Amino acid sequence: DAGVTQSPTHLIKTRGQQVTLRCSPKSGHDTVSWYQQALGQGPQFIFQYYEEEERQRGNFPDRFSGHQFPNYSSELNVNALLLGDSALYLCASNHRVLGIEKLFFGSGTQLSVL
Amino acid sequence: GIQVEQSPPDLILQEGANSTLRCNFSDSVNNLQWFHQNPWGQLINLFYIPSGTKQNGRLSATTVATERYSLLYISSSQTTDSGVYFCAVGDRGSTLGRLYFGRGTQLTVWP
């Protein structure tokens, strides 16, 4: 049973560029949440997708957008990258209907913006 | 959103020692989870514990929701316990996947 998988593992971009990060949830999970973790900080909630719609959103600008596909996988897009967007981006999944309470996280994508 | 404070920020132990990590939160919660982040960044779920006490091997956790705190106990610590321990909570208006994290406790266990 595969866990949550994310790609790529590392990425280097320059200011102003756009980036797309990908996530496949744990088997049987239909809800995907994205988090940003800056160095030395706890993860911060970006947004959550369920049934291909954004359900909740944290305090992040519109430069951060996402998508969920029919197979429940998800993408996080960040436009007009800033130096401050450098962070570990984490994807988490859970099963909304069955009410599985634990979140399962992927290993993350380390994004560096130069 | 809910404020989450963890203490201590850093903890250094020798193998075999016991430790207690604390998490205080500012409002009522419907979800509280403890995570361990290893040096490679992987967050591992240790406990889902919005109230009560649970044990899993050398680890145990207690949440007193009415007093807005949770404790994580690590007994007979091992070098593999090193890493950052996070407490994360969900407020009553949020879905399951939305958690507010503390800044973590950095645990280092020496042989």
A68 inside 8 A of chain B by CB: no
Does domain B4-110 match CATH 2.60.40.10? yes
Are A56 and A47 contacting, i.e. CB atoms less than 8 angstroms apart? Answer: yes
Using CA coordinates, name the residue in chain A closest to B47. A102
What's the pLDDT score for residue B91?
A: 84
Using CA coordinates, name the residue in chain B closest to A107. B42
- Adjacency order of strands within the sheet including B52-56: B4-7, B19-25, B69-74, B59-64, B52-56
What is the total residue count of chain A?
114
Residues A12-47 have pLDDT tens digits of 999 999 999 999 999 888 999 999 999 999 999 999
Residues A58-106 have pLDDT tens digits of 999 999 999 999 999 999 999 999 999 999 999 999 876 666 678 899 9
Using CA coordinates, name the residue in chain A closest to B30. A101
Report the candidate in A39, A23, A20, A42 with the shortest Cα–Cα distance to residue A31.
A23
Are B109 and B77 contacting, i.e. CB atoms less than 8 angstroms apart? Answer: yes
For B1, the token pair is 């959103």
Is residue A1 pLDDT above 60, yes or no?
no
Give me chain B's average pLDDT, please: 94
Cα of B18 to nearest chain A Cα, Å? 24
Cα of B84 to nearest chain A Cα, Å? 10
Out of B35, B48, B94, whose CB is closest to A56? B94
Suggest the residue from A103, A107, A112 to mutate for an interface test with chain B (most B CBs closer than 10 A): A103
What dihedral do alpha carbons B92, B95, B96, B98 form, nearest 10°? -90
Report how far residue A47's alpha carbon sits from residue A62's, in angstroms, rounded to the nearest whole number. Answer: 11
Sequence ranges of the domains in chain B = 4-110
DSSP characters over A2-69 = ---EEE-SEEEE-TT--EEEEEEPPTT--EEEEEEE-TTS--EEEEEEETTEEEEE-S--TTEEEEE-
pLDDT < 50 positions in chain B: none
